[in-house]
């Protein structure tokens, strides 16, 4: 139940950032290392691919900084799930 609520919260925040033309700045977040955060986003992304959440992925791409997006995609290279991106 909590996981579903968290996913809904994340999707809401992604859409909100997009509507307000804002980007996520992982480098400015002090609570966790940037690499850990990118890993969490990669897991979220892969789950959305499995669930058919392609619209959310497209919105997510728009709120990520280019260097973060490239690093996330590079981390998924070689994985079968990446072939659909």
How many Å apart are CA 11 and CA 5, to the nearest integer?
10
Cβ atoms of 24 and 69 within 8 Å: the answer is no
The rounded percent of the chain whose pLDDT value lies above 90 is 76
* Domain-wise residue ranges, the chain: 2-84
Tens of pLDDT along 13-27? 999 999 999 999 998
Tens of pLDDT along 34-47? 999 999 999 999 99
Tens of pLDDT along 4-13? 778 899 999 9
Per-residue b or e along 30-58, where b marks 16 or more CB atoms closer than 10 Å to that residue's CB = eeeeeeebbeebbebbbebbeeebeebbe
pTM summary value: 0.82
Cβ atoms of 52 and 41 within 8 Å: the answer is no
């Amino acid at each position: 139940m909590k996981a579903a609520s968290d996913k809904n919260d994340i999707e809401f925040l992604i859409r909100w950032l997009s509507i307000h033309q804002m980007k996520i700045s992982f480098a400015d977040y002090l609570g966790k290392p940037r690499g850990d955060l990118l890993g969490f986003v990669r897991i979220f992304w892969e789950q959305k691919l499995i669930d058919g959440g392609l619209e959310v992925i497209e919105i997510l791409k728009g709120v990520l900084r280019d260097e973060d997006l490239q690093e996330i995609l590079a981390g998924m290279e070689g994985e079968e799930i990446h072939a659909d991106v």
